[in-house]
Structure 1
Amino acid sequence: MIESAVKTIKEYNMIDKGDSIVVGVSGGPDSICLINLLSEFKEKYNLRLYVVHVNHMLRGIDADNDASFVEGVCRGMGIPFFLFKEDVKKYALEKGLSEEAAGREVRYKAFHEIFEKVNADKIAVAHNKNDVAETILLNILRGAGTAGLIGIKPVNGNIIRPLIRTTRDEILDYLKSKNIKFVVDATNKEDVYRRNRIRLKLIPFIEENFGIDIVENLYRTSQIILDDEDYLNEECEKIFKKISIFNEESVMLDIDEIKKLHDSLKKRLIRMAYKAIRGDTNELTYKHVEDALKLIDKQTSSKIDLPFEIEVIKSYNNLIFRKRTFIVPNQIEVKLKIPGITDAGCLGTYKAEIIDREAVEGFNLGKYHKLFDMDMLDGDITLRYRRSGDYIAPLNMKGTKTLKEYFIDEKVPKEMRDKIPLLAIDNCIVWIVGYRMSDKYKVRDGTKKVLSIQYIKDG
């Protein structure tokens, strides 16, 4: 078993020398095997280990005893121990989740909290080969795409799974050979949860009646699909970056570009946009993805709700994914430093320079770099979001427009208008960042001093 784990760790580059690792330990055989295994590697890799135990408050005194057991194991190994208690049943009701999904969310929140607290490098969890098979079968019963047939990835960001190629029987043999104690969660023997029914009834039935090692076969399938998924996701990531505008609060996808794609890529883009906001695709179903794609053919302002307070809106030629609780701090106002670097927080960072007219070689510097006639600027330039009364004389256009009129004419999605940074002198807009600058302040033949302003970083 140790050889299998060592091979897995090396193949997936799971551990580097000097790593700090947060280890999720429930007290069951899998996690006790994991912490003992990592403890054996501690000196060789110069590891710093931290154990997190989460009491789900579902089993009363038994759960408290499990926590005490894990704490005692850590004390004996000289490993720091962190205990979390969370009423998972209550959490599930509040969030509208199953108890299983709520438990998973609570656990990973605890892992990441300690990860940040101790400045760790990795989070190690004890999923094994049987867990992969069970997860694949569970996903098939739910109606899974190819991503669901991967089951559980060996490495997912900073989360590592050293036991992913090890079977449950091999784990038990390892613990028995070393006389290592562990606790048994009695609820694992109850067929209340669907996963338990798969473990206790479906897998034994398949093995007994079809004479195959279903765990090994499903694991092998998962590895084949994992390679394909990695490639397809890499290609989809390139498309996503090309046709989207995104930040932590929202993602905007170009509908015309989506229409050009194969249905498989369309669905991946929807999941990718959701993940960019949520952080994962847990609870996002096939129907959610289909409903989001149906918005493409609906009228502007049509919308649907997705799990975890995320909504999708069709606005002109865009699909916008955003958190429903998003509020723009529209009272923020920051004076632009001329010359200098201005960090305007959520409005972004800007570099301003004064240069001679003769040094200007071209005027088309892109969406995020503009040149202005310094002598025409008749007041302090401030960075802010839009306000009532704002107007602009758009470059190379006659007359002025209210900012609202400009946004409507240019089909800027209504949901994005409050989030676009502006450079303004009072209510006169100097530059709509990423869009158009004012004709009033453009560089002319008689211009002597030129103000260069460059948007250099998102807020």
Structure 2
Amino acid sequence: MHVLEEETLGFIGRWNLLKPAQRVLVAVSGGKDSMALLNILWNLKPLLSIELVVANMDHGLREKGPMEEAEMIRQVCTEKGIAFFHERRDVKDYMAKTPGLSVEEAARKVRYDFLREVKNAQSCDVIAVAHNRDDLIETMLLRMARGTGLKGVVGLRPSNGDIVRPLLFCDMQRIMDYVTINMVTFMEDETNLDTSFDRNSVRLKIVPELKRLNPSFNEAMWRFFENLYDGYSIVEKDIMEALSSFETIDGILFVENVRLKGMYRALLFETVREIVSKMSSDGYPPSRERIEAFYDLLMSERNGWTVEFREDLKGSRLGNYVFFYKKSLIFETLESVEVFSLPFEISLGGWRLRIREGKKLSGRLDGRFLSVCGIRRMTLPLKLRPADKKDYIVPFGMSGTKRIERIVSEKGLKGFWSKLLILENARGEILWVPGIVTSELCRADPSCTELVVFSLERR
């Protein structure tokens, strides 16, 4: 076993990158690094007990090279008996439809979309990419030059979701030595010498100067990465815990305003970065200026406000909640349902609404999520319908009517207006607004035992 293969095996084990019986999709461009990765994983395949699948994509950016590269990879895969998938996609067309992205950013997005489509279609568990230590250093320098946060510096990690990087510990020079000694077939990409690309400029101009200052620059940057990664891992646990208090409906993420205000500032900043990164089309976090604007508004006494993190991604406070959403803050409107008999039950996203006959309850009624109504008001058929801004109700314990929209606003829940349902009887009397309030019309005599129970609960 070649020493690089042995070290790769150790790196995979140390970072728990691959598990026995997994199907691994190997992203292969045809260059030295990806062909080396394919060869190494093929040789380690019996020891790792994995299956390999290979994918290659033509970005449509070069006239010469992609077809030849794809054919070379196909031949290697045929010789080894590995399934191979290739496709050409138009990155420039994607850029025209998604303004604001650089060629490198657009190519990355299109490439990973393709890889995940192949991964899902072929039931693969992870995608192995050939990023090495030189790539890591270039990425760190580029992101630091642009003023990134901690997550940005450690973004190119050994394992990130369904992406694994078995060669991240290894310098490009060692990969070049490996393919030479082992006669691994590869092809050079002429665009790697084009310094109009930021990454190439860093690799060809900036890194050599830094190595002149410190001949052990690569080793020093790897230590820097590991130190930051260890520290960020602690922060990341707090972020995941913070995110567990958020809920999602129809792609809109929301949480109570007081929960965010209760976070310490640094955690709040990192949590917002994580949310925006995951929800945005390019996967990048917002600028610090946008996060500071969000923080200032959050800590103010203003009730309704909006911060635009991206052209199509916003954060807003409405009532007692803060929402993160794309395009507009509108939940899908629920459809009307008629209830002809009891018991009745319906699932609404992550909730279950039930209407059933029952005995008198005590000590647990809140009028919002659990309530009762006198049987005489339950004239069938009942109707569950979307709330209307003209709707009025006599709130339980009151004698006069009140606009439901006002009640919702007072409870700090007006951001959920399009999700609200009204329960009314055959006479058109509103009996219950699930999750909001029960009508005084439902009041039953203390001696009454014929009741109907309303409940709205998590499934």
TM-score for both structures, normalised by structure 2? 0.87
Report what 1:165 is aligned to. 169
Q: Give the unaligned 5+ runs of structure 1.
A: none
Give yes or no for contact 2:368–2:436 (8 Å, CA) kept in 1: yes
Q: Over residues 393-424 of structure 1, what are the superposed CA-to-partner deviations in whole Å (9 max), with x where a residue is unaligned?
A: 333444332321222232324x4311345545
Deviation at 1:322, TM superposition (A): 0.8
Alpha-carbon spacing, 1:338–1:204, altered in 2? closer, same or farther (3 Å): farther
Report what 2:438 is aligned to. 437
Matched to 2:407, the amino acid is Y
Alpha-carbon spacing, 1:150–1:273, altered in 2? closer, same or farther (3 Å): closer
Give yes or no for contact 1:29–1:183 (8 Å, CA) kept in 2: yes
After the TM superposition, which of the residue ranges 373-382 and 266-275 deviates more from structure 2? 373-382
Alpha-carbon spacing, 1:173–1:315, altered in 2? closer, same or farther (3 Å): same
Correspondences of 1:311-326 after superposition (within 5 Å): 311-324=314-327
Correspondences of 1:419-438 after superposition (within 5 Å): 419-425=419-425, 428-438=429-439
Could you tell me how far apart the structure 2 residues matched to 1:430 and 1:43 are?
Answer: 67
Is 1:135–2:136 an aligned residue pair? no
Report what 2:202 is aligned to. 198
Matched to 1:217, the amino acid is A
Could you tell me how far apart the structure 1 residues matched to 2:23 and 2:161 are?
Answer: 15
Could you tell me how far apart the structure 1 residues matched to 2:456 and 2:334 are?
Answer: 23
Deviation at 1:425, TM superposition (A): 4.3
Give the RMSD, CA atoms, in angstroms.
2.9
Report what 2:416 is aligned to. 416
After the TM superposition, which of the residue ranges 186-195 and 428-437 deviates more from structure 2? 428-437
The 3-state SS of whatever aligns with 1:221 is helix
Is 1:152–2:156 an aligned residue pair? yes
Could you tell me how far apart the structure 2 residues matched to 1:326 and 1:76 are?
Answer: 54
Give yes or no for contact 2:377–2:425 (8 Å, CA) kept in 1: no
Alpha-carbon spacing, 1:454–1:259, altered in 2? closer, same or farther (3 Å): closer
Report what 1:9 is aligned to. 12
Could you tell me how far apart the structure 2 residues matched to 1:228 and 1:168 are?
Answer: 27
Could you tell me how far apart the structure 2 residues matched to 1:366 and 1:5 are?
Answer: 61
How many residue pairs get aligned? The number is 451
Deviation at 1:348, TM superposition (A): 4.1
The 3-state SS of whatever aligns with 1:61 is coil
Could you tell me how far apart the structure 1 residues matched to 2:119 and 2:384 are?
Answer: 36
Alpha-carbon spacing, 1:45–1:339, altered in 2? closer, same or farther (3 Å): farther
Identity of aligned residues (%): 25
Report what 1:387 is aligned to. 388
Could you tell me how far apart the structure 2 residues matched to 1:425 and 1:184 are?
Answer: 74
Matched to 1:247, the amino acid is I
Q: Give the unaligned 5+ runs of structure 2.
A: none
Report what 1:272 is aligned to. 274
Correspondences of 1:300-449 after superposition (within 5 Å): 300-307=303-310, 309-324=312-327, 328-330=331-333, 332-335=335-338, 338-339=342-343, 341-344=345-348, 346=349, 348-351=351-354, 353-357=356-360, 360=361, 362-364=363-365, 368-374=369-375, 376-413=377-414, 415-425=415-425, 428-441=429-442, 445=446, 446-449=448-451
Report what 1:99 is aligned to. 103
Is 1:42–2:26 an aligned residue pair? no
Matched to 2:439, the amino acid is S
Could you tell me how far apart the structure 2 residues matched to 1:124 and 1:130 are?
Answer: 17
Matched to 1:416, the amino acid is F
Alpha-carbon spacing, 1:436–1:219, altered in 2? closer, same or farther (3 Å): farther
Q: Over residues 52-102 of structure 1, what are the superposed CA-to-partner deviations in whole Å (9 max), with x where a residue is unaligned?
A: 211111111322222222222222222222222222123123212111111
Give yes or no for contact 2:424–2:432 (8 Å, CA) kept in 1: yes
